[in-house]
Amino acid sequence: MDKTATVIAPSLLSADFARLAEDMDKVAADVDWLHVDVMDNHFVPNLTLGPPVVKSIKAATNVPLDCHLMIEDPDRWAVGYAELGAYNVTFHAEAAADPVAIAKDLRAAGSKAGLAIDRDTPVEDYLDILPAFDTVLIMTIKAGFGGQAFIPGLLDKVRAVRRHIDSGHLDIRLEVDGGIAMDTIEAAAEAGADAFVAGTAVYGAADPAAACRKLRALAEGARSRGLTSAATATGAVPG
Ligand code: DX5
Ligand code: ZN
C-alpha cells in the first residue's frame, strides 16, 4: 500500500455481530482495513470479543485486520492477535508496562505495531518511543463505546504527532478513532491524520459502502488541501 494513501477502517463494533461476514463483505471493496475493537470489561467497562472471534473474522475476509486492544495487560495478550494474522495490532499506552517490548513482539510475530493514546493521556510522554511503532492511534473520544461525539480539542494531539512524524521522517500511520463521520473527518485529516476509523458513520448508514467512499473523498480532499498549503508555506512546489 502507498505509504501516503488514505486508510479507511470501518469499526465492526457498529456492525451486526450475528452477521459479521455479511457486514464485512458489504464494505470490503471500498476499505483498506477492518477495525476490530477488543474490549475486556476491565481496561474499559464494555465487553466485546477476543481471540476466537478474531480468528473467525480473519478466516472470513481478505481485508487486513486492524485490532484495537482496549484491554489490560497487553504485555501478555497483544502478541496473540499478531499470531492470529492481524495486519496491525494496537494496544493502549495506559495499559502497557513496556510498550517498546510489546511492539518488538508484535513485529516479530508478523504484524504492525500500534500505540493508542486515550482521551486523558498526553501524547508528549510517548513521542520518544514512536520509532518502535508503525501506527499511532489518537482517540478522539474516551475509549470504550461507539456512537460518542467527536472531541475537537483532541486534534491538538494529532497535530503534535504529525509534526513529530514529519520532522523525524518517521514511517508511521496516524490513525484517529471516535466520532469520525462526514462532518468531522475533514478536520481530522487537516490536523494530520491519514487513517480513519468509523463505526456509526459506516454501519449506521443505509449504504455502508457508499458511506466509506464518501468518507474517503472527504478525507482525501482535506489532506490534499493541507499538503498543498504546507508546501506553499515552505516554498516547495506542490507535486
Ligand atoms: C470505541 C472504539 C471505536 C468505535 C468508534 O472505543 O475504539 O473504534 O467503534 O465508533 P464511532 O465511529 O461510532 O465513534
Ligand atoms: Zn477502536
Write the pLDDT tens digit of every residue in 38-68.
Answer: 999 999 999 999 999 999 999 999 999 999 9
Residues noted as catalytic:
37, 177
Where residue 239 falls among pLDDT bands split at 50, 70, 90?
Answer: very low
Atom number in ligand 1 closest to CA 13:
9
* Dist. CA 238 → ligand 2 center (Å): 33
Condensed to tens digits (0 to 9), the pLDDT of residues 14-25 reads 999 999 999 999
Contacts of 177 (CB under 8 A, 6+ apart): 11, 35, 68, 116, 137, 138, 139, 140, 141, 143, 197
Let me know the angle formed at the C-alpha of 114 by 109 and 119, rounded to the nearest 5 degrees. 150
Mean pLDDT of 159-184: 98
Atom number in ligand 1 closest to CA 144:
6
For the Cβ of 198 lying below 6 angstroms from any atom of ligand 1, the answer is yes
Mean pLDDT of 180-200: 98
Mean pLDDT of 70-76: 99
Q: What is the pLDDT of residue 230?
A: 63
Q: What separation, in Å, do the N-terminal and C-terminal C-alpha atoms of the chain show? A: 19
Q: What is the pLDDT of residue 237?
A: 46
Please state, rounded to an integer, the average pLDDT across all residues of the chain. Answer: 95
| Percent of the chain clearing pLDDT 70 (strictly above) | 94
Q: What is the pLDDT of residue 153?
A: 98
For the Cβ of 64 lying below 6 angstroms from any atom of ligand 1, the answer is no
Q: What is the pLDDT of residue 98?
A: 98
Where residue 160 falls among pLDDT bands split at 50, 70, 90?
Answer: very high
Task: Enter the pTM of the model.
Answer: 0.95
For the Cβ of 61 lying below 6 angstroms from any atom of ligand 1, the answer is no
Are residues 237 and 231 in contact, defined by beta-carbon separation less than 8 angstroms? Answer: yes
* Dist. CA 168 → ligand 2 center (Å): 26
C-alpha cell of residue 179: 466520532
- Which amino acid appears at position 173 of this protein? R
For the Cβ of 90 lying below 6 angstroms from any atom of ligand 1, the answer is no
Cα 62 from Cα 160, distance rounded (Å): 34
Atom number in ligand 1 closest to CA 147:
13
* Dist. CA 2 → ligand 2 center (Å): 23
Torsion of CA 68, 72, 76, 81, to 10 degrees: -20
Question: Is residue 166's pLDDT more than 70?
Answer: yes
